[in-house]
Amino acid sequence: MNVAQLVSEIKSKKSYLCVGLDTDINKLPEGISKDTEGILQFNKEIINATKDFAVSYKINTAFYEQLGSKGWNIIEKTREMIPSNTLSIADAKRGDIGNTSTMYAKAFFETMDFDALTVAPYMGYDSVEPFLKFNNKITIVLGLTSNEGSADFQTNPIYDPPLYKTVLERISKWGTPENLMFVIGATKAEALVEIRNVVPDHFLLIPGVGAQGGSASEVCKNGKNALGGLLINSSRGIIYASSGRDFAEAARAEAQKLALETQPYTAHL
């Protein structure tokens, strides 16, 4: 799936929702076995229950890697379940010297055929560019993250302009809105107005709504652009909406709620 198809999906579903599959084996609801099969069943039911409202699914690799190679096999199988009319994102935050970044790109863009991958910016151009080289794939670079630790370097006041702005300014020139997006935390919604001055055209992947406290409507107000330009991620708030056997219905209800909250901000599309 490419950016044009994503925009069309946002328009038709009237939703910016990305569902985060941060599936923790220890948090599987009642009635689901705490093993490989259980995780796959859970992911399948969550996807089926939310696909009317979600335009994207994001797999957080850490939750699977804790299970070792079995966990990677679950990533592969879950990737295959993601509907082809939604954007599949591997949230893996990779990045290394050139030849190594190329290997990571092959892993996620070729071997597993994800549409998009999150990438860390610290190592600069030759660590990001190998991802951008892959045709019809999207690299999503960390800009301003949702966690408190973003104050240590990204917004540390000893630097003017702040580091995250230098990251956005510089990296936005390395790709186009067709192959490059940025991660901007929902907990920094007030910064979105200024961020849109720096990167007016790129899509922003916005984690931090829900469990982390960010407001989806605030994000839309400050962050939307002419093409929508937003993917608003919720993970725990949706997938663990209920710990009972009704987890899929509860997830669907939460997904719908979030989609409805942001729907007014899709009216211009």
For its own copies, the binding residue among 34, 126, 136, 194 (CB under 8 A) is 126
For its own copies, the binding residue among 72, 85, 201, 257 (CB under 8 A) is 72
DSSP β-bridge partners for residue 225: 228
Q: How far is the CB of 241 from its own copies (least distance, A)?
A: 17
Nearer to its own copies, 53 or 104 (CB): 104
What would you report as the CA-atom Rg of the chain, rounded to the nearest whole angstrom?
18
C-alpha separations of 228 from 57, 69, 111, 244, 268 in Å: 17, 37, 30, 35, 8
Given the structure tokens 């925009």, which residue do they identify? 7
153: contact with its own copies by CB under 8 A:
yes
Pairwise CA distance, residues 141 & 179, whole Å:
11
The 101-120 site mask, x for binding its own copies (CB under 8 A), equals: x-xx-xxx-xxx-------x
Q: Which stretch binds its own copies (CB under 8 A): 2-10, 122-130, 222-230, 251-259?
A: 122-130
Is residue 161 reached through a cis peptide bond, with omega within 30 degrees of 0 on the bond before it? yes
Question: Which of the following is catalytic: 14, 51, 93, 224?
Answer: 93
In the range 228-267, which residues lie near its own copies by CB under 8 A? none
What count of other Cβ atoms lies within 10 Å of the Cβ of residue 138?
27
Using the Cα atoms of residue 216, residue 222, residue 226 and residue 230 in order, give the sign of their dihedral: negative
5: contact with its own copies by CB under 8 A:
no
> 125: which 2 tokens?
């151009």
35: contact with its own copies by CB under 8 A:
no
Query: Which residue blocks in 56-213 are alpha helix, DSSP H?
Result: 61-65, 69-81, 98-105, 125-132, 163-172, 192-198
C-alpha separations of 58 from 93, 167, 195, 234 in Å: 12, 23, 23, 9
Q: How far is the CB of 123 from its own copies (least distance, A)?
A: 5
Q: Which stretch binds its own copies (CB under 8 A): 46-54, 57-65, 188-196, 239-247?
A: 57-65
93 is catalytic: yes
Q: How far is the CB of 225 from its own copies (least distance, A)?
A: 25
Active centre residues (catalytic): 93
Q: Which residues bind its own copies (CB under 8 A)?
A: 22, 24, 60, 62-63, 65-73, 75-76, 91, 93-98, 100-101, 103-104, 106-108, 110-112, 120-128, 142, 145-154, 156, 158-159, 163, 166-167, 170, 212
